[in-house]
Structure 1
Amino acid sequence: MISAVVYADGEAVQYDDLAAARRAVGTTWVHATSVTNEELRAIQTAFDIHHLTIEDVQNHTRAKTEEFSEHTFVLLKIASLTTGETTFEKEVKTTPVGIFIGDDWVVTVSPGAATPVQRVLDAVSRGDERLLQRGADFTAYRVLDVVVESYFDLLDELETDIEEIEDEVTVSTDRQTLEKINDVRRDLLSFRKQAWPAREAVGTLARGDPEQIRPETEKYFRDTYDHLVQIVDLTETYRDLVSGARDIYLNTLSQSTNEVMKVLTVVATIFIPLTFVAGIYGMNFSGGPYNMPELGWALGYPATMVGMALIAVVMLVHFRRRGYL
């Protein structure tokens, strides 16, 4: 799908012909999603776009900014969380958006649906005065800004997951809790790979390096850059929180294992003297000068059982007083 709109003097006009839209007076914005190779070639021809930049959009290259003689190319990625069978089976899904900024035109290209960008295009169609009365660089800023704002939505979802993990990790050593922690850690790592290059790409625009960025528009790109700095900081903070939750989980698991081992050790310690007594009287030696006199005693068996019980009771009382139980 290709949408071409030209706006000037507070009015937006839709065009079906790319060449006519390019020649029209005003700011031209062409938005293309899920287009064919033939349609991409038509866009390249109309706006003299280098084919390698189009390939960067299609090949999911990392976010970047490149300057050309007639335009500036910015590649950013829309990020969202896709949910699997369970709440915590999530994956960071990215959709690249290529933004080509000319002196009086903007071209946005995406191989898939780009909902945030479409919202800006709808604002143009509704007659948003801020967009209609400013140039191509401001339109590019609005596109970049909505993409960056979607990062906050993703981090809000991850923050909710982290809060649930922190509530569980101190009371549960369930295997599922560890799986949740690893899922969120993986999502944060995947998102971090998108946020860092995006900050660098927008930083170039915030400094006003490209010729197509007017001085009066630089402050808007600086604002978007500040948002990305905040996003990167939040990502690092959340990674630390998840790592801390993982350490708490492992410590809780280790403590739980130690408690089990303590109980087993106490039980084994109690049975050591009982096994010793049972082993002695299990030899059944009789006759000769070294016979076992208890073998002929009518109360030998109950006396031995009572003695073993007393040994166990004494040891239990001792372990309880020492705090082992």
Structure 2
Amino acid sequence: MTTALVYRAEEVTEYDDLAEAKAARGTTWVHAAEADRAEMDRVADCFDLHPLAIEDVRNNVRAKTEEYDDYTFVVVKLATLRGGETTFDEEIGDEPIGIFIGEDWVVSLTPVSADSIERVRRAVTSGDERFLHRGPDFTAYRIIDTVVDQYFTLLDQIEDDIEAVEDAVTTSTDIDTLEEINSVRRELLSFRKLAWPAREAVGVLARGDPKQIQEDTEKYYRDVYDHLVQLVDLTETYRDLASGARDIYLNTVSQSTNEVMKVLTVVATIFIPLTFVVGVYGMNFADSPYNMPELSWTHGYPAVMIGMLVVGLVMLGYFRREDYI
């Protein structure tokens, strides 16, 4: 779906013909949502957009900013959580938005539907004064700003996952807990791949390097840049928390294993002398003057059993006193 809006201080007009919208007086904004190859080519032909820039939108390249003779090209990424059977099955999905900022026009292209851009469009059509008295660089800023705001929402969901993991590692050593930790780490890695390039792309606009960015609009891009710096810092902090949760989990598993091994070692140690006793008395050599005399003793068997029980109890008491068990 492609829409063309032309707005100025007095009015907002929607056009069906792209060429007519481009030639109209005021700021022209053309937005192509869920655009296929043919629709992108149609918009590119009208505004003389470079084929390589269009290919970057189609191929979903990393976020970046490039300057051309007549316009500035910006790629940012829409970020969403793709649902799974559980919270930790979700994955971060990203879709490109190509923004072309001209002297008196702005074009936005995306192969998917974007609610964030639709909110900006509704603000323009409703006659928001912030748009009507500014140029295309401000419209591009609002698009990028809404995309970055979604990053905060996404990071809040990841933060909830981290808190759930931190609660789980102190109470459970199940393998599912480790899988949840690894899932959160993958989410953070995917999010980092979104935030870092976006920060670099917006940084170019915040410095006012492209000639299409007006001086009074640079402060808005600097605000978005500050948000992205905050997002990157939070991402690094959350990665440290996820790594710490994994270390706690591994230490908990190791401690649990040590406790089990300690109990098994105590049991084995108690049975070592008992095994020695039954081994010695199991050597029943007949017709020899060196046979053990107690073998023919009437109470020999119960005496040996009582002796073994006493040895076991003494060793068990010693281990308990030394806090081995």
What percent identity do the matched residue pairs reach? Answer: 65
In 2, Cα distance between equivalents of 1:55 and 1:74:
13
In 2, Cα distance between equivalents of 1:223 and 1:27:
23
Q: Cα deviation per residue 1:163-217 (whole Å; 9 max; x = unaligned)?
A: 1111111121111110100000001001111111100000000000000000000
In 1, Cα distance between equivalents of 2:298 and 2:246:
62
- Name the residue aligned to 2:239: 239
Structure 1 residues 31-42: aligned runs within 5 Å? 31-42=31-42
Structure 1 residues 1-325: aligned runs within 5 Å? 1-325=1-325
> Shift in Å at residue 36 of structure 1?
3.0
> Shift in Å at residue 323 of structure 1?
0.8
> Shift in Å at residue 44 of structure 1?
1.0
Q: Cα deviation per residue 1:145-179 (whole Å; 9 max; x = unaligned)?
A: 00011100010000001011111111211111101
> Shift in Å at residue 10 of structure 1?
4.1
Please give the TM-score of this superposition, normalised by the length of structure 1. 0.98
In 1, Cα distance between equivalents of 2:36 and 2:165:
44
State the Cα RMSD in Å.
Answer: 0.9
Question: Matched residue of 2:288: which SS?
Answer: coil
In 1, Cα distance between equivalents of 2:37 and 2:88:
38
User: Which amino acid in 2 is paired with 1:41?
Assistant: D
In 1, Cα distance between equivalents of 2:36 and 2:252:
55
> Shift in Å at residue 40 of structure 1?
1.7
Question: Matched residue of 1:193: which SS?
Answer: helix
Q: Give yes or no for contact 1:10–1:129 (8 Å, CA) kept in 2.
A: no
> Shift in Å at residue 231 of structure 1?
0.4
**Farther-moved stretch of structure 1 (41-50 vs 212-221):** 41-50
In 1, Cα distance between equivalents of 2:265 and 2:248:
25
In 1, Cα distance between equivalents of 2:257 and 2:11:
71
In 1, Cα distance between equivalents of 2:297 and 2:37:
103
In 2, Cα distance between equivalents of 1:140 and 1:63:
14
In 1, Cα distance between equivalents of 2:258 and 2:216:
65
In 1, Cα distance between equivalents of 2:116 and 2:10:
22
Q: Cα deviation per residue 1:216-261 (whole Å; 9 max; x = unaligned)?
A: 0000000000000000000000000000000000000000000000
User: Which amino acid in 1 is paired with 2:133?
Assistant: Q
Structure 1: runs of 5 or more not aligned:
none
In 2, Cα distance between equivalents of 1:145 and 1:24:
27
Q: Cα deviation per residue 1:81-117 (whole Å; 9 max; x = unaligned)?
A: 1120112111000010000001111100001112211
Question: Matched residue of 2:229: which SS?
Answer: helix
> Shift in Å at residue 298 of structure 1?
1.1
Q: Give yes or no for contact 1:64–1:197 (8 Å, CA) kept in 2.
A: yes
Q: Give yes or no for contact 2:36–2:111 (8 Å, CA) kept in 1.
A: no
> Shift in Å at residue 285 of structure 1?
2.2
Structure 1 residue runs of 4 or more that deviate by more than 4 Å after TM superposition: none
Q: Cα deviation per residue 1:268-288 (whole Å; 9 max; x = unaligned)?
A: 000100100010111112332
Question: Matched residue of 1:66: which SS?
Answer: strand
User: Which amino acid in 2 is paired with 1:208?
Assistant: G
- How has the CA–CA distance of structure 1 residues 10 and 286 changed in structure 2, closer, same or farther, with 3 Å as cutoff? farther
In 2, Cα distance between equivalents of 1:39 and 1:110:
11
User: Which amino acid in 1 is paired with 2:261?
Assistant: M
Q: Cα deviation per residue 1:98-143 (whole Å; 9 max; x = unaligned)?
A: 0000111110000111221111111112221111221100000000
